[in-house]
């Protein structure tokens, strides 16, 4: 190898892997297709291997191409972290941060967080990505996100988790529901009830079942929704009951509906809200400060 690959060549390779199309990859890199193709060819010559299978109609990576791409992502992520760390050491929150947030937190907590960041760090750029925990974790490992705000625990390797606060989970019922009339509501009362939950993939579903000590066989699920707003409308129409995060209730998500909430008497049903970032990230001090600011927002 006469000289090592350049960062530009590695970026071109990752772009082709992501877009699976030379023209679209070139657009994402803001270069011409010929420039990108030349960069990929030079990278293959430098490494002495074929990275892209050009014999097929659609762009695809070879086996070694996939391995090189994964290593290239790691290199590029490390470079981004290095630059961000150097800038943050001079002045914290003076660069940018890419934050992933799950849908059962984002609309209720982000308005408070973003307002605080804008007031204290007007030059700081905080980019938000809302998605399910599994998808966000993939983007975190790929270096596309810097930090996640989600419900814990969530199974993941190579990450650091930081608990911030607990969010109580409340039973949501229509005013005429028999469960709403109980003097002392117990989690066991949910057994064999028609419990409306978010569809699989939403970690709130798993945290609800775990916190209430319930198994899938203990409940009837007449409908699985993709959002809390849909769940609330189903409860309002007496199709079943549900469990809602208190942060959503505090944010007036029930305004204008006939749905009411009730705490459990036998135990505190709650979920842990926290942060997650790559274990080897050098920006840990900055991420810890993010957690402190979020807790300040919640206490205000």
What backbone torsions phi and psi does residue 55 show, to the nearest 5 degrees?
Answer: -85, -15
What is the architecture of the domain spanning 166-271?
3-Layer(aba) Sandwich (3.40)
* Reported pTM: 0.77
Indicate the SS3 state at residue 185.
coil
Q: Where are the domains of the chain?
A: 7-82, 88-164+273-299, 166-271
Residue 300 is predicted with a pLDDT of 76
Residue 65 is predicted with a pLDDT of 92
Decide whether 88-164+273-299 matches 166-271 in CATH topology.
yes
- Cα separation of 260 and 53, whole Å? 58
Residue 268 C-beta-side C-alpha neighbours within 13 Å: 7
Residue 181 is predicted with a pLDDT of 82
Q: How far apart are the first and last CA of the chain?
A: 58
- pLDDT tens, N- to C-terminus, the chain (300 residues): 568 899 999 999 999 998 888 999 999 999 999 999 999 999 999 999 999 988 767 788 999 999 999 899 889 888 887 877 777 666 777 778 999 999 999 999 999 899 988 898 888 889 999 999 999 999 999 888 999 999 999 999 999 999 999 999 999 999 888 888 888 888 888 887 888 988 877 888 889 888 888 777 777 777 778 899 999 999 999 999 999 999 999 999 999 999 999 999 888 899 999 999 999 888 888 899 999 999 998 887
Residue 222 is predicted with a pLDDT of 72
Task: Evaluate whether 197 touches 205 at the Cβ level (below 8 Å).
Answer: yes
Residue 90 is predicted with a pLDDT of 66
What backbone torsions phi and psi does residue 27 show, to the nearest 5 degrees?
Answer: -60, -40
Indicate the SS3 state at residue 242.
strand
- CATH number attached to the domain at 88-164+273-299: 3.40.190.10
Dihedral of the alpha carbons of 258, 259, 260, 261, in degrees to the nearest 10: -170
Task: Evaluate whether 87 touches 94 at the Cβ level (below 8 Å).
Answer: yes
Task: Evaluate whether 181 touches 208 at the Cβ level (below 8 Å).
Answer: no
Residue 132 is predicted with a pLDDT of 94
CB count in 10 Å sphere of residue 159 = 18
CB count in 10 Å sphere of residue 296 = 13
Dihedral of the alpha carbons of 87, 142, 98, 156, in degrees to the nearest 10: -110
Task: Evaluate whether 145 touches 136 at the Cβ level (below 8 Å).
Answer: yes
Contacts of 245 (CB under 8 A, 6+ apart): 104, 105, 108, 167, 168, 169, 170, 204, 228, 271
Residue 230 is predicted with a pLDDT of 93
Classified by CATH at the fold level, domain 7-82 comes out as Arc Repressor Mutant, subunit A (1.10.10)
Q: Any idea which residue has 């590029």 for tokens?
A: 76
Q: b/e per residue, 23-53, with b = 16+ CB within 10 A?
A: eebbebbebeeeebbebbebbbeebeeebbe
| Spacing of C-alpha 146 from chain mean position | 11
Q: What is the DSSP letter of 194?
A: B
């Amino acid at each position: 190898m006469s000289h090592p690959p350049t960062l530009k060549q590695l970026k071109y390779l990752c772009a082709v892997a992501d877009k699976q199309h030379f023209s679209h990859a070139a657009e994402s890199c803001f270069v011409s297709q010929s420039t990108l193709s030349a960069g990929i060819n030079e990278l293959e010559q430098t490494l002495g291997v074929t990275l892209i299978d050009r014999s097929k109609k659609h762009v695809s990576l070879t086996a070694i191409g996939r391995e090189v791409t994964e290593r290239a992502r790691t290199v590029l992520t490390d470079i981004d972290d290095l630059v961000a760390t150097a800038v943050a050491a001079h002045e914290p929150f003076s660069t940018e941060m890419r934050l992933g947030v799950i849908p059962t937190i984002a609309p209720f907590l982000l308005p408070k967080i973003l307002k605080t960041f804008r007031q204290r760090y007007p030059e700081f750029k905080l980019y938000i990505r809302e998605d399910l925990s599994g998808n966000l974790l993939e983007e975190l490992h790929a270096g596309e996100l810097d930090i996640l705000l989600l419900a814990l625990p969530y199974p993941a390797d190579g990450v650091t988790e930081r608990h911030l606060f607990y969010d109580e989970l409340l039973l949501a019922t229509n005013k005429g529901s028999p469960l709403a009339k109980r003097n002392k509501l117990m989690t066991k009362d949910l057994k064999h009830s028609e419990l409306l939950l978010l569809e699989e993939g939403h970690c709130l579903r798993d945290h609800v079942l775990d916190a209430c000590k319930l198994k899938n066989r203990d409940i009837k699920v007449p409908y699985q929704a993709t959002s809390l707003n849909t769940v609330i409308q189903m409860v309002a129409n007496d199709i079943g009951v549900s469990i809602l995060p208190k942060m959503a209730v505090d944010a007036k998500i029930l305004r204008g509906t006939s749905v009411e909430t009730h705490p459990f008497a036998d135990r505190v049903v709650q979920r842990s809200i926290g942060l997650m970032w790559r274990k080897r990230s050098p920006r840990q001090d900055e991420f810890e400060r993010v957690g402190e600011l979020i807790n300040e927002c919640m206490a205000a």
